[in-house]
Structure 1
Amino acid sequence: MKLKLFAVLTLTSLLTLGTAQANIPFFNNKDETPTLAPMLEEVTPAVVNISVKGSREVRQRIPDMFRFFFGPNGPQEQVQERPFRGLGSGVIIDAEKGYVVTNNHVIDGASEILVTLKDGEQFDAEVIGTDANSDIALLKIKDGEGLTDIEIGSSADLRVGDFVVAIGNPFGLGQTVTSGIVSALGRSGLGIEEIENFIQTDAAINSGNSGGALVTLDGKLIGINTAILGPNGGNIGIGFAIPSDMMEALVQQLIEFGEVRRGVLGVRGNDLTADIAEALNLKANQGAFVAEVVPDSAAAEAGLLSGDVITAVNGEKIRNFGDLSARIKTMGVGKPIEITVLRDGEERTFEVTLTADEQAVEAANLHPALQGATLAPASEGGLAITELEEGSMAARYGLRKDDVIVAVNRQPVSTVSELRNVLDSAQGVVALNIRRGNSSLYLVLRGG
């Protein structure tokens, strides 16, 4: 009896401690035992199940014994379209507009998206925009009525040890709730996504939870459940969620532009280590050490120098270089941000306006005939084909690796955004002016 009473009192103390600012009553059971039910009754209608249908391109290499049927210049692989179905979770962040946030991998390649509410009501949804690098997607429910959204909290306020609740659709069972704590913050270098700044939690997250909500005890969304570490996809108490601050920054761009227009600071470096701090006589143990400032970059123009240690962005602490990189990559082009650095033992603040990120992009998103080509700005001007898939549509049109696109329909292009704008406005046939070595030629594309 004493053990049971101790357990109830301990949980009551923890819940009271974790929700000092909450307005939601937790203790309304008849026997006054603690419960999260009142909070969940308000929050769970905003978490939805997502089912998708579509088809994906599957490539299989043609066995050598059969290639003679196609001749010496025949295809090296066979391409097939195979149907697929998938399940996941999502979170309604704007009931009036019907906006739902989920993971990109939940809806990637889907031609049909069905959103099911907690009460079983179903709606079709369309994709507003996606960002594969951070694994975020924004959907819009069609003709949605009676929707409930969730209040978004600030993930910057989280501390290791804070209590959290994960809500989603594991294994297609239907809405399921699990609880745990924040196990770590700023997890990166996991190889799960290109941009990583995860919240780690031991709240049980399983297959199908992807895109679901990670909420605080007062019912605020502070993460989008994304991935787990575990054998055979099973939970072992190590789950990861995209922080709400990072999600919000990406979603605002998807709403405004339909895509993420990533900003670049223009610094290279590594984590601030004890050795670096000692060598520079710095009274700090966390931050991003700037080894190099890229010439003519946003950082150079603002006055940042090699040897600086970046300790905060917009007043929020930076733990390491990975943390800095993830935060910058979620902010849009042209956004003024405040960078706090340690220099010569003194704290200084700089205002920086991020410039455009012109890294390599998959050209299939720009024009169907460019499928299989990867583009990046060339040092001598134009857009270089840095990668080209053998047998792809772009290869069949005559493009080659290291070709440089210098103009489209006689309009010069030097950035991906310029190429996108020209292709979007082009009607019918598209003529690419290509620089190949020391020669120049035109290739005509169709199917736009």
Structure 2
Amino acid sequence: MKKIGLTLITAFVGGAMALGVYKVIENKYSDNLSFEDKQKVYFTSNPSTPVSSTGDLDFTQAAAAATPAVVYIRTTYTNKGSGGQDQLEQMFGDMFGQRVRPQGPQMASGSGVIISPDGYIVTNNHVVEKADKITVATNDHRTFSAKVIGTDPSTDLALIKVSANNLPIVKLGNSDDAKVGEWVLAVGNPFNLTSTVTAGIISAKGRNIGIIGSENSDDDNPFGRTRNQSTPKLNKAIESFIQTDAAINPGNSGGALVNTRGELIGINAAIASHTGSYEGYGFAIPVNLAKKVLNDIKKFGTVKRGFVGVTFTELNPDVAQKLDVTTTNGLYVNDLVPGGGAEQAGLRKGDIIVKVEGQPVYESSDLQERVGRLQPGDKINVTVLRDGKDKDFAVTLKGDAVAPSNRIAASKSAEELFNKLGASFHALTPAEKNRLHVNAGVLVTQVREGGLFDAAEIPEGVVITSINKLPISSIEDIDKAIVKPIQGNIIIAGIYPDGSHFSSAFPAQ
């Protein structure tokens, strides 16, 4: 008995020591972990109760796991008119029975998903773009001001943050494992109805519907956002949506698509509708693509995206006949980017991309989504059909110097003033400080349309060294400095890429 007791005491002490060391390591290194690794730490410390399978069609546990981490997002934005035409509409609209656009600040709403206990939230870019003020309401009725950490219009994703800790989060799942026909839940805030859960199945995967970057003003276009604002036209959109018949309506944008285990597999983004309301199908951004985008935004302030370096045409029977090729599946290579990864690997015009990483390619989304998860410098295995035979190539992805910049904007709290700057930042490394001969500074990694940086033509690549005469070395320093205006102005000083110095002043209100 004494031996058993001693063994139990030894096991208890050893376990306590291991847990203590684990907690020290967790606190020390958590800031450098990816969102996925941080979640592994969280769920190791906070094991969740196993939830039901699809077999018994009981969604209660999945809903209970996801709902606390889905937030309601309310945005305020300035109604920026288009000059004289808007003034004439305002003057004469009522006289002729025309609808007059409302003047003053406008409101919009959407959803978001908490993915880190320290306040990081994923939502759609179109939910927060051009927002002057962003307010987040949690499921337990707490409200926070949020700031935009960064956006990626190419995938319609945005990362925002609130100042809070110990928030409930949704466990990140694996969208590659999601199967057509699998039951899923859509969680969000449609029509301002908070914490709404709807159920359906996955209807299809890899959908490319041409919604990202299109204005969708044409009545014949059935694909619309779950909102009424239009989105600027973009190049290089990445679409590989999960299609579901779970009801998604205006206000669901940025909400969660979860499986029956309560795991996040997609971020709801769009609906197929002629009316703007649900008509049968919704679309969500796969979480495996979102993971890469969000980790890049948190780490670099922008997305590091690699490119294969080809232009192509999706094949179908009609296209294949016009191009005089025998296969009707794959991507026909129209041209190669000079010096790009595909050219250097040996691909040629007229090749047909039939596989990527061993998986068949039927449409552009099969290639784009896979590449969208990778960084410049990563290799991807591509199989092409050439002269009737399959040939394999290892393509090293290249960065794109002319990739479209991701440009937002709003006032009074630190978060509002931060959003008003309309930029994203990355702290300088010691080596960068030595090269620039500065003791402090943050690099501007993204300038968003409509913000103060955009108006003052402060470009990406600039180093901000001080705000309101306070040295800046981190985003936290920015938060502290911008709430201390000098004579009602925010004074920003920094260094242009050519080494010249500048100082600009903006009204704080």
Equivalent position to 1:37, from 39, 60, 80 = 60
TM-superposed CA distance for 1:422, in Å, is 4.6
Equivalent position to 1:273, from 296, 305, 316 = 316
Q: Does 1:122 align with 2:162?
A: no
Aligned letter for 1:259? T
TM-superposed CA distance for 1:204, in Å, is 0.5
Equivalent position to 1:242, from 285, 292, 298 = 285
* Partner Cα separation in structure 1 for residue 256 and residue 399 of structure 2: 31
Q: After the TM superposition, which of the residue ranges 43-52 and 162-171 deviates more from structure 2?
A: 43-52
Structure 2 equivalent of residue 302 of structure 1: 345
- The verdict on how the C-alpha distance between 1:140 and 1:316 changes in structure 2, with shifts beyond 3 A counting, is farther
TM-superposed CA distance for 1:160, in Å, is 2.7
Structure 1 equivalent of residue 110 of structure 2: 88
Question: In 1, are the aligned partners of 2:354 and 2:385 still within 8 Å (CA)?
Answer: yes
Equivalent position to 1:259, from 271, 284, 302 = 302
User: What does 1:156-171 align with in structure 2 at a 5 Å threshold?
Assistant: 156-171=176-191
What SS class does the counterpart of residue 139 from structure 2 fall into? coil
Q: Does 1:420 align with 2:457?
A: no
TM-superposed CA distance for 1:201, in Å, is 1.4
TM-superposed CA distance for 1:317, in Å, is 4.1
Unaligned segments of structure 1, at least 5 residues: 1-21, 66-79, 366-370, 372-388, 400-407, 409-418, 434-443
Q: Does 1:211 align with 2:254?
A: yes
Question: In 1, are the aligned partners of 2:119 and 2:163 still within 8 Å (CA)?
Answer: yes
* Partner Cα separation in structure 1 for residue 87 and residue 194 of structure 2: 47
- The verdict on how the C-alpha distance between 1:315 and 1:23 changes in structure 2, with shifts beyond 3 A counting, is farther
What SS class does the counterpart of residue 350 from structure 1 fall into? strand
Aligned letter for 2:168? T
TM-superposed CA distance for 1:174, in Å, is 0.9
What SS class does the counterpart of residue 356 from structure 1 fall into? coil
* Partner Cα separation in structure 1 for residue 253 and residue 139 of structure 2: 16
Q: Does 1:148 align with 2:171?
A: no
TM-superposed CA distance for 1:114, in Å, is 2.4
What SS class does the counterpart of residue 324 from structure 1 fall into? helix
Equivalent position to 2:198, from 172, 178, 181 = 178
Q: Does 1:24 align with 2:45?
A: no
Aligned letter for 2:110? G
Structure 1 equivalent of residue 78 of structure 2: 55
Q: RMSD value over aligned CA atoms? A: 4.0
Aligned letter for 2:392? T
Question: In 2, are the aligned partners of 1:429 and 1:445 still within 8 Å (CA)?
Answer: yes
Q: Does 1:111 align with 2:138?
A: no
TM-superposed CA distance for 1:140, in Å, is 1.8
Q: Which structure has the highest strand share of the two?
A: 1
* Partner Cα separation in structure 2 for residue 101 and residue 51 of structure 1: 14
- The verdict on how the C-alpha distance between 1:23 and 1:64 changes in structure 2, with shifts beyond 3 A counting, is closer
TM-superposed CA distance for 1:93, in Å, is 1.7
- The verdict on how the C-alpha distance between 1:320 and 1:231 changes in structure 2, with shifts beyond 3 A counting, is closer
Equivalent position to 1:136, from 157, 174, 178 = 157
Q: Does 1:202 align with 2:245?
A: yes
User: What does 1:58-73 align with in structure 2 at a 5 Å threshold?
Assistant: 58-61=81-84
User: What does 1:338-353 align with in structure 2 at a 5 Å threshold?
Assistant: 338-353=381-396
What SS class does the counterpart of residue 161 from structure 2 fall into? strand
Q: Does 1:102 align with 2:123?
A: yes
Q: Does 1:228 align with 2:249?
A: no
Question: In 1, are the aligned partners of 2:52 and 2:261 still within 8 Å (CA)?
Answer: no
User: What does 1:287-436 align with in structure 2 at a 5 Å threshold?
Assistant: 287-329=330-372, 331-359=374-402, 361=404, 420-422=460-462
Unaligned segments of structure 2, at least 5 residues: 1-48, 89-101, 214-236, 409-421, 423-448, 467-491
TM-superposed CA distance for 1:138, in Å, is 0.6
Question: In 2, are the aligned partners of 1:250 and 1:330 still within 8 Å (CA)?
Answer: yes
What SS class does the counterpart of residue 58 from structure 1 fall into? coil
* Partner Cα separation in structure 1 for residue 57 and residue 347 of structure 2: 52
What SS class does the counterpart of residue 250 from structure 1 fall into? helix
Which structure has the higher relative contact order (CA within 8 Å, separation 6+)?
A: 2
1:242-272 CA deviation, whole Å, 9 max, x = no partner?
Answer: 1112211211211121112332211111113
Q: After the TM superposition, which of the residue ranges 354-363 and 97-106 deviates more from structure 2?
A: 354-363
Question: In 2, are the aligned partners of 1:53 and 1:85 still within 8 Å (CA)?
Answer: yes
1:219-254 CA deviation, whole Å, 9 max, x = no partner?
Answer: 221111111122332110121111112211211211
* Partner Cα separation in structure 1 for residue 379 and residue 245 of structure 2: 36
Question: In 2, are the aligned partners of 1:182 and 1:202 still within 8 Å (CA)?
Answer: yes
What SS class does the counterpart of residue 82 from structure 2 fall into? strand
- The verdict on how the C-alpha distance between 1:262 and 1:25 changes in structure 2, with shifts beyond 3 A counting, is closer
Aligned letter for 1:264? F
* Partner Cα separation in structure 2 for residue 279 and residue 265 of structure 1: 25
- The verdict on how the C-alpha distance between 1:364 and 1:348 changes in structure 2, with shifts beyond 3 A counting, is closer
* Partner Cα separation in structure 2 for residue 364 and residue 36 of structure 1: 39
Question: In 1, are the aligned partners of 2:155 and 2:212 still within 8 Å (CA)?
Answer: no
* Partner Cα separation in structure 2 for residue 361 and residue 271 of structure 1: 23
Structure 1 equivalent of residue 440 of structure 2: none
1:15-49 CA deviation, whole Å, 9 max, x = no partner?
Answer: xxxxxxx942369xxxx974211222122222121
Question: In 2, are the aligned partners of 1:253 and 1:332 still within 8 Å (CA)?
Answer: no
What SS class does the counterpart of residue 94 from structure 1 fall into? coil
TM-score under structure 2 length normalisation: 0.60
Q: Which structure has the highest helix share of the two?
A: 2
Q: After the TM superposition, which of the residue ranges 196-205 and 164-173 deviates more from structure 2?
A: 196-205
Question: In 1, are the aligned partners of 2:189 and 2:252 still within 8 Å (CA)?
Answer: yes
1:58-95 CA deviation, whole Å, 9 max, x = no partner?
Answer: 22225999xxxxxxxxxxxxxx9941222111111222
Question: In 2, are the aligned partners of 1:250 and 1:331 still within 8 Å (CA)?
Answer: no
TM-superposed CA distance for 1:108, in Å, is 1.5
Tell me the matched-pair count.
353
TM-superposed CA distance for 1:143, in Å, is 2.1
- The verdict on how the C-alpha distance between 1:84 and 1:333 changes in structure 2, with shifts beyond 3 A counting, is farther
* Partner Cα separation in structure 1 for residue 129 and residue 86 of structure 2: 30
- The verdict on how the C-alpha distance between 1:83 and 1:267 changes in structure 2, with shifts beyond 3 A counting, is same
Question: In 2, are the aligned partners of 1:56 and 1:109 still within 8 Å (CA)?
Answer: no
Q: Percent identity?
A: 38
* Partner Cα separation in structure 2 for residue 286 and residue 157 of structure 1: 24
